[in-house]
Structure 1
Amino acid sequence: MSKSIDKKVQSIIKQCESLSIDDIEKLSNYKKLQTIISRKSQGKFDIYLVLAIIFGLLSLITTGISQLGTEHFLHYAYDKIFSIDIYREECLAPKLEFLVDAFRPPTSCGICRNVDHIERISNISREEFEEKYAYTNHPVIITDAMKDWLATEKFNFKFFKRLYRTNSSALRAVEEHCQFFPYKNKHEFETLGDVFDMDLERAYMIDDDYQPWYVGWSNCDYSTAYLLRQYYSRPYFLPEQSESSKLDWIFMGTPGLGAHMHIDNVDLPSWQAQIRGRKQWTLRPVPECLFSCKEFNFIVEPGEIIILNTNVWYHKTFVISEDEISITIGSEFD
């Protein structure tokens, strides 16, 4: 059997040897062979290109480490690529929002279908709020929930500057254990302490050419939380069995800035009370609902509370007050 195959192969070789180059190119399978060869060549080229990039990066890293030392090189690289200060952060793994979004569980489009504005309501009972809004993921604004809050009179930049004064336990807790969001001011405000080192002229927009600023932080210090809650009470509309988080979220800043479009990963819905200033919100449905739902804008006025599940709605904010900083405080509820 093998001998007969060898004879056939030898016969084919002799026939090919008798053909000219022009004749070979006219063969029906010649172009297929060319395509296969070119693909293999391209594949080899791609592999070589990837290897060249990898070796180039390794060379840059090796050179950087040799010139700066490992510690200084890591500090420089994290600062330039991720805007992370390795001397301040406990976790050096950057939080990449696109990865959080990619692995986010799918959302039912029923929460946003036919929703193109936000309702404003008042004098709502706990039972009605629980049935219609608390756990349905439908955003709503309550207009009468801050009538007896001292926060509307006392909360201002100076109040928080005193509370988070240098070397205070409140400031240490934020800088060591809580979260701080400098947003677009990240290159000048590395910590909350940097914010309250700001001169009052800029903080209160006294100069016409002041630089806008906007920050947010969580308060995870129980003693500070106890003090803050002397100035505001649990919103009256929350269900009786609902428990508010012990964590406060505070957002503060001047007109012209706000939080970028994002979605949260905090598990629970939340309420945010607009203590001072006016803030424009933009809500956008999750990608799987873009063909079923609409993006829409609205303004939260001083004295109003917005209830929103920020885990299922993309959202961004923008301070639009004319001559007053915006101060918002909020918490999650289950």
Structure 2
Amino acid sequence: MVSPKNIEEFIEKVFFKLTENYIQQGAVINDLKSITMTANSKSAKNRSFRRCSKKLLVMLLMPFLYGMFNRYVYNNIIKNFQGTRCLLPNNYLIWEFTRPITNCDYCRDIKTPLILPNLTKEEFRFYSYSSRPMIIKNAAYDWPAHKEFTLDFFRNLYERIEGAYESIEEECQFLHFKSNFANLREVFAMSKDRASHREGEDPWYVGWKNCHPQILDIMKQFYNIPHFLPDDAEIPYSNYIFMGYEEGAVMHLDYISRLMWQAQVIGSKTWTVAPTPECDSECKSFKFSVNVTDVVLLDTRIWYHSTHIENGKLSLTVTSEYG
């Protein structure tokens, strides 16, 4: 049994060893750091996680749980540290390791998203807080954002508002995914050929969280919170933009506080969703496509998800939370 005074050192050594093994199996630290939407953007770098392989994750975690921890350590230490995420600030498996085991009722017998017409608040009430993936067709058809939101629009917006770039670095979050951009400034500085995805240019796909009040106020002139969401829903005054070509996001969970909605402003996108590893034997993964003006609703806290943009076309989405 590990003595209390040595517990922190013991856990730290084990997690570092776990990360080393994970990297040896092909995980990339930059991908682990830049893939996951987080509820608290100030600690985003400490809370990112990339799900490289469900089977690999189970293989790594099960021996760790049952081979290296006895009942005392598991019951008294891991449960205590579930609320203290900063113990090992550079280890990207902590979130997955401390994630509660999922009740598989949420995914059992679900093989497709629920596709609904552009419905009213009253009609949507029954579905409001469901964990089933849903697509609301043409729910964003009247948004001016379809014509206004472009790479140039956001470049001009961030260039002219003081402190806008700093807000991304200090308060919000930048997600480079597989692109070779370190920050939003580099995205806006790319060549016109690459920005247009010309032949021979590297594809790119990025996301960033907007939390600067002036940025949000201007953006809100061109889109609305989905009209069917319930009046009692808690909706943060922030959003994410995801845009780019081809690669999309790799499979991951989001460590956020609420359900997610995402409006397809430009182009289309193919989603792949999968159950948590403990539900593999009872649930199946599946794919679906979301077209321009559609809104997808997904509980990204329990559904692993990845995206891909088809046909070499630009995809641009607005994303936020509700709950």
Corresponding residue of 1:172 = 166
C-alpha contact 1:175 1:192 (8 A) present in aligned 2: no
CA–CA separation in structure 2 for the residues paired with 1:123 and 1:94: 43
- Mark the runs of 5 or more structure 2 residues left unpaired by the alignment: 1-12, 14-27, 34-42, 47-87
Distance 1:234-1:91 versus aligned 2 partners, 3 A rule: closer
CA–CA separation in structure 1 for the residues paired with 2:216 and 2:145: 13
- Mark the runs of 5 or more structure 1 residues left unpaired by the alignment: 1-53, 55-80
Deviation of 1:166 (Å) = 7.5
Deviation of 1:95 (Å) = 5.2
If the length of structure 1 is used for normalisation, what is the TM-score?
Answer: 0.69
If the length of structure 2 is used for normalisation, what is the TM-score?
Answer: 0.71
Q: 1:144 aligns with which of 138, 141, 151?
A: 138
CA–CA separation in structure 1 for the residues paired with 2:204 and 2:99: 30
Secondary structure at the aligned position of 2:94 is classed as helix
Number of residue equivalences? 245
Report the structure, 1 or 2, having the larger helix content.
1
Q: 1:219 aligns with which of 210, 213, 223?
A: 210
Corresponding residue of 1:229 = 220
Corresponding residue of 1:240 = 231
Deviation of 1:96 (Å) = 3.7
Distance 1:97-1:297 versus aligned 2 partners, 3 A rule: farther
Aligned-residue Cα RMSD (Å) equals 2.2
What code does the residue aligned with 1:237 have? Answer: F
Secondary structure at the aligned position of 2:168 is classed as helix
C-alpha contact 2:114 2:132 (8 A) present in aligned 1: no
C-alpha contact 1:277 1:327 (8 A) present in aligned 2: yes
Instruction: Report Cα offsets for 1:123-147 as digits up to 9, x if no partner.
Output: 3232342322x21201100112112
What code does the residue aligned with 2:140 have? Answer: M
Secondary structure at the aligned position of 1:288 is classed as helix
Corresponding residue of 1:124 = 119
1:263 correspondence with 2:286: no
Instruction: Report Cα offsets for 1:35-84 as digits up to 9, x if no partner.
Output: xxxxxxxxxxxxxxxxxxx9xxxxxxxxxxxxxxxxxxxxxxxxxx8448
- Identity between Structure 1 and Structure 2 (%): 36
1:292 correspondence with 2:282: yes
C-alpha contact 1:279 1:321 (8 A) present in aligned 2: no
Deviation of 1:175 (Å) = 2.4
Instruction: Report Cα offsets for 1:164-217 as digits up to 9, x if no partner.
Output: 2277432221122211111112xx311111100001111012x31111001111
Q: 1:328 aligns with which of 294, 307, 317?
A: 317
Aligned ranges for residues 95-106 of structure 1 at < 5 Å?
Answer: 96-106=91-101
Q: Quick check: which has more Rg, 1 or 2? A: 1
CA–CA separation in structure 2 for the residues paired with 1:321 and 1:220: 32
Q: 2:195 aligns with which of 197, 200, 203?
A: 203
